[in-house]
Structure 1
Amino acid sequence: MAEGGQQRALTTAFAPPPPLWKHFTPGNAKRLEEIKKEASKGEDGKPRKKDWSPAELRSLTLPPELRFLVPPDIPSEQYSVFGEVQNLSTALPSLEEQGINQLYPSPPNPGPNGEPSAQPAQPLNHAYYLLKISKSLLLNFLEFVGVLSIAPDQFESKVEDIRNLFINAHHLLNLYRPHQARESLIMMMEEQLSRTREEIQEMDKLKEELMSVLDQLATEGAGVESTIKAISQDDKSVVKSELQATEDSQLVWEIIDGKLDS
């Protein structure tokens, strides 16, 4: 009874978390790390740094509460989510493989050596068949309304037709998903390239402004240097004239002192 209740809980649309989440505690995580360090010690007793795979962790002797902390193996083909099996393959299965009536022709199959088939095949124009399916949906909806007004108990066949039309339209749209992903990636790369070019242009503009400022500073510095040199030359001449005047005055006083002594 308990297993049946747990199975129903796992297959619901919004299932509660499994009870094993209670074992994901900091204490259990620390204990698991200690066990891994102890198991990774070499002959010298020093722990070696090692990345443990889930299979290697499961080979260790772990307590029951720590076994839930070991991640499962990465699925290779399919996995289960809420009781529903999901495939890892990105290839879109055909409607015929799913047992659904396909309302548009399939693309031509390649030959045995990968070459196109020699038989002429009608090209698959997705837009053309999507338009036809859309018109068929409108017509079938009108017929469905008419059936409900005349014989409501005969609605099942018309509902099945509408359902088949929607599935075919949805499958045709899904065929564009790889193209959409490729175009989205191209658009993202183009936007990144344009942003990089704008940043380079801004950097070049800033470089030109800095170079102009440096040239202006160099020009102003050369003018200041020449001014300083001119001022220093003037100062030297003034000093020389003052020294000469001082010497002349000293000579005059010496002459006057000599005459007075005589």
Structure 2
Amino acid sequence: MDDDDAELRNPFPSPPSHYTKYAPHNLKLLALLRERVPDPSDPTVNQYEVLSDQTDVPDWPLSQLEKPRVDWILEEPDAYYDVFGDRWFVKEKIPSLAELGGNQLYPADPSVDRRPALLSVLRSLLVTYSALTSSLLDPPPALSQAEPPGWQRQVEWINVLGQNLMAAANDLRPVQARGNLELMMKRQLELRREETKTMHSKCDSMQAKLNELRSSLSLEQQDTMTSVVCLDGF
């Protein structure tokens, strides 16, 4: 790996070597070139002639300062971009087991019900495991035997079946995430309803207590007024 690749893969890479070209003067020249020429990236355009009235015109094309055309990237069937030496696809896609070179035993179309195929894979896994435990009791094969032993074929088949189960489970992770999010939101809604119900109950209890205090206070005031009237009568 050369120094440039090592620098790109650095967790904190240095700025690209051409960052010094993005000077304010060069950007002003680029804006002026856009005004005078419809397509500055046209190789037939001579920027020295177009900007003959300007000073410090660089010897490299000013079109290098143009922003990348994102629409050109999106037009590609497998649109991607490179960042710090790593390639990232615009549309994230999880490759299927068949695309990775594996022996896929369930339907590739996610709209097709995979449960019958996965049940068959599970049954085959259990049967193969049972056969593997039985083959371990067989005598060792002869040295002249070219065919691989039974336990080796069964281990390879168990590996294929396990890959199918893991790949199918990984395909269902988005569905599982949506289901977990739905359950979490429902639980949050239930908790808020319970908290609201508790608050209303507390408010009703406090309101009843206040009404009771007002009633007792009114009775005390009436008793006081009655006592005052009786004293005035004497």
Alignment TM-score, normalising by the size of structure 2: 0.54
Equivalent residue, structure 1, for 2:94: 92
Relative distance call for 1:89 and 1:158 in structure 2 (3 A) is: farther
Which 5+ residue runs of structure 1 have no aligned equivalent?
Answer: 1-19, 21-53, 60-75, 109-122, 239-262
More helix by share: 1
Q: Is the 8 A contact 1:77 1:88 kept in 2?
A: no
**What residue number does 1:126 align with?**
114
Distance 1:88 1:171 in 2: 23
Name the SS of the counterpart of 1:92 in structure 2: coil
Structure 1, 123-132 or 185-194: larger mean CA deviation:
123-132
- For residues 1-262 of structure 1, the aligned pairs below 5 Å read 91-107=93-109, 124-148=112-136, 149-150=138-139, 154=149, 155-238=151-234
Q: Are residues 156 and 169 of structure 1, via their aligned partners in 2, closer, same or farther at CA, if it must alter by over 3 Å?
A: same
Partner secondary structure for residue 101 of structure 1 = coil
Task: Check conservation: 1:137, 1:165, Cα contact below 8 A.
Answer: yes
Mapped contact 2:107–2:114 kept (Cα < 8 A): no
C-alpha distance after superposition, 1:119-138 (max 9, x if no partner): xxxx7322211210111112
Letter aligned with residue 192 of structure 1: Q
Q: Secondary structure at the match of 1:184?
A: helix
CA separation of 1:214 and 1:88: change in aligned 2, threshold 3 A: same
- The 3-state SS of whatever aligns with 1:136 is helix
CA distance in 2, matches of 1:231, 1:198: 50
Conserved 8 A contact 2:106-2:118: no
In the alignment, the residues of structure 2 paired with residue 220 and residue 163 of structure 1 have an alpha-carbon distance, to the nearest angstrom, of 82
CA distance in 2 between counterparts of 1:79 and 1:94 reads 27
Q: In structure 1, give the amino acid aligned to 2:172.
A: Y
Q: Structure 2 regions of 5+ residues with no counterpart?
A: 1-10, 20-80, 142-147
Structure 2: which amino acid aligns with 1:142? S
Deviation, structure 1 residue 207: 1.1
Query: How far off is 1:86 after superposition?
Result: 10
Does the Cα contact within 8 Å between 2:106 and 2:114 map onto a contact in 1? no
Distance 1:102 1:201 in 2: 53
Higher relative contact order (CA 8 A, sep 6+): 2
CA RMSD of aligned residues (A): 3.7
- Specify the code of the residue in structure 2 equivalent to 1:209: S
Q: Percent identity?
A: 27
Highest Rg: 1 or 2? Answer: 1
Cα pair distance change 1:190/1:212, threshold 3 Å: same
